[in-house]
A = this chain, B = another copy of it.
Amino acid sequence: MQSTTSRSRRERPAKPALSRAGIIATAVAVMRAEGLEHVTMRRLAAELDTGPASLYVYLRNTAELHAAVLDELLGFVGLVPDRSAQWADTIVRMLWSYNGILSGHPGLARSALVTRPAGPNYLALVEGLLTLLREGGIPDAQSAWGVDILLLFATSIALEHGTRRQVMDADEDEEALEHAIHQATTSNYPTIAALGGDLLSGTPEARFGWHVRVLLNGMAMTPRPPLESEHEGLGRS
């Protein structure tokens, strides 16, 4: 089993030709097995039995690779309608599902934040959210701007929690903040001192649910400003 001379050449089943789809499939496999941090051009090239330069025929750069992996993963977001539930509950659950998928791979959350996803599965998610917002009676103009922040929120939380889960020093950071908050005196930071532990209270799920409801309530009742010229600043609202 260890000898490499037994079959003269090509031990593996005849080294399949390269293709974008094949590269991405390999990327997903490596990610599931070892995490996104191992999904590098060099590593993938080694996996596909070639040099890193070969991959640049199919992908412009690493960002494009990660974006492709992301859309692949988004195929697993639960988009089932569930007519029995309240529309708001359904949105919370849908975003929680999206969040859960990204939490496992915070590098993908980072990718989603940075590269303007435009893959079919991402669009399906946007479509699903817009449908539910309409069903909930949110005016279209408000949904159009609101869907963005719903996804931004779920993505950021995934990046935040996901990274902390896989970085070792995360607990120390958490403790440092807790310490700082409990250290806050009335003269230092009076309001932080007054609110104290409540700033960090609640489970991630509970906070997530409340935050999404805040967004939904807010976007239902906040009228859109008129679209003004490009040069408008924040001087007055």
Contact = CB atoms under 8 A, between A and B. Distances in A.
Interface in A105-163: 110, 113-118, 123-124, 126-127, 130-131, 134, 140-141, 143-149, 152-153, 155-157, 159-160, 163
Interface centre among A89, A177, A228, A234 (most CB of B within 10 A): A234
Contact of A222 (B113, B180, B213): B213
Given A113-B159, A118-B177, A222-B217, A211 B131 contact: no
A233 B208 CA distance: 11
Contact of A227 (B131, B134, B179, B206): B206
A58 interface: no
Interface stretch (A4-12, A17-25, A39-47, A186-194): A186-194
A234 to B, nearest CB: 5
Nearest to A211: B149
Say how many copies of this protein the assembly contains. 2
Nearest to A60: B169
Nearest to A174: B116
A110 to B, nearest CB: 7
Interface of A: 60-61, 63-64, 89, 92-93, 96, 110, 113-118, 123-124, 126-127, 130-131, 134, 140-141, 143-149, 152-153, 155-157, 159-160, 163-164, 167, 169-170, 173-174, 176-177, 179-180, 184, 188-192, 194-195, 198-199, 201-203, 205-211, 213-219, 221-222, 224-225, 227-228, 230, 232-234, 236-237
